[in-house]
Amino acid sequence: MSTLPVVVAVDGSEHSLRALDWALDAARRRGAPLRVAHVRHHVAWTPPGAPVVVPPPADDDPVLADARARVEAAGTAGAGPSAQYLGLDGAPGALLPELGAEAQLLVLGSRGRGGFAGLLLGSNGMTAARDAECPVVIVPPPGREVDDLLPSEPGARVVVGLKADAPDDATLALAFAEAALREARVQVIAAYPWPIQTWVAPGDLVHPVYDQDAVEHETRTLADGFLTAHRTRHPEVPVEVRPAPGDAAGLLVAASKDAGLVVVGRHRRRLLAPARMLGSVTHAVLLHAAGPVAVVPPAGAEE
């Protein structure tokens, strides 16, 4: 059975070239082929008298030619993964998610050539992260500053968010698999709300008291239980469970400092909300994380 490729989208921008470098490394670690795609967005309608824009032939695409040269220069002959170069014409927002149907990873830069300079994440990246059938990795530009809320010991880390009352096995599985490939530890961020807000009826004098140590202990216990199967599957991967009070998005962004990858999940479709959604935490992490972020679709069929 053939190994699914690592797919990366390029458009000649510095953002996409960083994504290409990340995807090349990911393909090497996995022993997987690399597929480099350039979606050429040409306007179908032109005003009268304007020159008609003709897309270049797929085998004469300067963006793909530059990508090929970069891949070939990255390693000696025979050392890198086999690579395929694919030119497509159409709307990137529609075609990029489709590339994930036959991929184990879809890798994108944080913003394409056509993006506004002020945007932290382009619309095509957001659409692919929301709609693709495989995990989508967004590679941000270097130099993002984040708050140092969760200082960590040195060493390679893969960060993953765990919601203690609704864990996502697909997200945890990718984090452990990636950590094994990188010989890194998994840092599990299990956020819990604090202080706990209690709503009471007007005039009610009952004021429940919660012990923060007890809440943190319960969060850690739940997290350890959910991690048991993944620890068994990857006994070589060290695990660090970090229950912490506060906003999950802020904690994950803080933990992204110097992390090799941050892994977050995508919302499941619900009966009353059938559209695919990233979720507010994933959306915030994509916008602000200091390192690459992998967005994992829910396990099992969504349709």
Neighbours of 40 (CB within 10 A): 18
The pLDDT tens digits of the residues spanning 42-87 come to 544 445 555 544 555 556 789 999 999 999 988 654 567 899 999 9
Residues 86 and 47 in one domain: yes
- CATH code at position 202: 3.40.50.12370
Domain-located, residue 73: yes
Residues 81 and 191 in one domain: no
Tell me what pLDDT residue 149 has: 73
With cut-offs at 50, 70 and 90, classify the pLDDT of residue 263.
Answer: very high
pLDDT at 2 over 90: no
Do both 120 and 225 map to the same domain?
no
Nearest to 10 by CA among 99, 74, 127: 99
Q: For residue 40, what are the contacts with CB-CB under 8 A and spacing of at least 6?
A: 55, 56, 61, 63, 87, 88, 89
For residues 116-135, give the mean pLDDT.
Answer: 75
Contact 98, 14 (CB under 8 A): no
pLDDT digits (tens, 9 = 90+) for 173-188: 999 999 999 999 999 9
Tell me if 83 is assigned to some domain: yes
Residues 6 or more apart whose Cβ sits within 8 Å of residue 60: none
| CATH code, domain carrying 109 | 3.40.50.620
> Quick one: 113 and 80 in the same domain?
yes
- Residue 95, pLDDT above cutoff 80: yes
Average pLDDT on 161-167 reads 84
Average pLDDT value over all residues in the chain = 82
C-alpha span between 189 and 203 (Å, rounded): 38
> Residues of the chain with pLDDT > 70: what percent?
78
Q: Residue 146 falls within a domain, yes or no?
A: no
pLDDT of residue 142: 84
| pLDDT band at residue 118 under the 50/70/90 scheme | very low
% of the chain surpassing 90 pLDDT: 52
Residue 205 falls within a domain, yes or no? yes
Compute the C-alpha angle 102/105/106, nearest 5°: 85
Same domain? 97 vs 196:
no
The residue among 139, 166, 195 that closes a domain is 139
Task: Report the pLDDT value the prediction gives residue 43, as an integer from 0 to 100.
Answer: 47
pLDDT digit string, tens, across residues 5-38: 999 999 998 989 999 999 999 999 999 999 999 9
Q: Do 169 and 287 share a structural domain?
A: yes
In a domain, 1, yes or no: no
**pLDDT exceeds cutoff 60 at 196:** yes
- Residue 54 has a pLDDT of 52
> Does the pLDDT of residue 291 top 60, yes or no?
yes
At what angle are helices 14-30 and 62-73 packed, to 10 degrees? Answer: 50
pLDDT of residue 1: 47
Structural domain including 113 reads: 6-139
Nearest 10 degrees: Cα torsion 242, 128, 283, 217: -20
* Judgement on whether residues 110 and 18 belong to the same structural domain of the protein: yes
Q: Do 161 and 289 fall within a single domain?
A: yes
Q: Does residue 278 sit within a domain?
A: yes
Which of 112, 139, 166 is the C-terminal boundary of a domain?
139
Same structural domain, 35 and 133: yes
171 and 250 in a common domain: yes
CA–CA separation, 39 and 37 (whole Å): 6
Which of 113, 139, 165 represents a domain boundary (last residue)?
Answer: 139
Same structural domain, 178 and 284: yes
Task: Tell me the mean pLDDT in the region 228-256.
Answer: 94
Query: What is the average pLDDT across 112-118?
Result: 47
pLDDT higher than 50, residue 271: no
Q: Please say if the pLDDT value at position 300 is more than 70.
A: no
Domains identified in the chain, total number: 2
**Is it the case that residue 204 has pLDDT exceeding 70?**
no
- Amino acid 51 reads P
Give bridge partners of residue 161 from the DSSP assignment: 189
- Domain assignment present for residue 151? The answer is no
Does 181 map to a domain? yes
pTM of the model: 0.84
Residue 262 predicted with pLDDT over 60: yes
Same-domain status, 124 and 163 = no
